[in-house]
């Protein structure tokens, strides 16, 4: 499991051990989890209350920290990949991060140093709406890229949309990247 070269047939993968337990990679069957944030809240475009977004932010940062401490970046942080626990269980309000299909190492296994920087501008991996600028540019992803994607996710939850949402066409990723680079945080 450490290599994350796993096929995703019936399993979704989540990293989120219970508080106080050892950090480890957990696998859950899809049926063992509840709805994702998109299905539970976002699908109709309504904004989420600030207090809920703040709670999600705190849990999401803790989840990403656990992934990053293991030497990995998720690579596809978005509302659809944050899943609540199964309804009717003790975990029904707990947040899980699933779908490690684009996860990669940010830290070398033997050197414990950051992996070598690389850039392949013709290769885009991720979800255009939430991807970091580095992902759009085909750069090697790092922890900051997960955090940038989380920021876009939280803004989306808070206001119900993003300025570059709805772009279409063959150059969509390029145009969205340019818009992200020129958008003010205000």
Please report the DSSP string for 71-122 in residue order: TEE-S--SGGGEEEEPTTSTTTT-EEE---TT-EESB-TTT-SBPPP-B-TT
Contact 163, 53 (CB under 8 A): no
Contact 6, 15 (CB under 8 A): no
Distance CA 168, CA 176 (A): 10
- Annotate 63-83 with b (16+ C-beta within 10 A) or e (fewer): bbebbbebbbbbbbbbbbbbb
DSSP conformation class of 175: H
Environment class of residue 42 by beta-carbon count within 10 Å: exposed (0-12), middle (13-18) or buried (19+)?
buried
**Active-site residue set:** 76
Distance CA 174, CA 61 (A): 28
**In 3D, which of 73, 59, 79 has the Cα closest to residue 162?**
79
């Amino acid at each position: 499991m450490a290599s994350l070269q796993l096929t995703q047939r019936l399993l979704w993968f989540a990293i989120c051990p219970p508080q106080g337990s050892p950090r480890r990679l957990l696998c859950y069957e899809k049926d063992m989890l509840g709805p994702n944030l998109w299905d539970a809240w976002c699908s109709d475009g309504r904004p989420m209350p600030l207090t809920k977004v703040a709670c999600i932010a705190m849990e999401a940062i803790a989840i990403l920290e656990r992934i990053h401490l293991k030497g990995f970046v998720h690579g596809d942080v978005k509302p659809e990949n944050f899943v609540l626990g199964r309804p009717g269980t003790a975990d029904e309000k707990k947040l899980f991060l699933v779908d490690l299909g684009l996860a990669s190492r940010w830290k070398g296994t033997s050197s414990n140093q950051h992996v070598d920087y690389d850039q392949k501008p013709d290769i885009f991996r991720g979800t255009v709406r939430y991807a970091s600028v580095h992902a759009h540019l085909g750069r090697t992803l790092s922890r900051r890229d997960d955090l940038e994607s989380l920021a876009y996710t939280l803004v989306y939850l808070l206001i119900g949309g993003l300025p570059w949402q709805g772009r279409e066409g063959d150059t969509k990723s390029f145009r969205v990247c340019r818009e992200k680079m020129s958008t003010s945080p205000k």
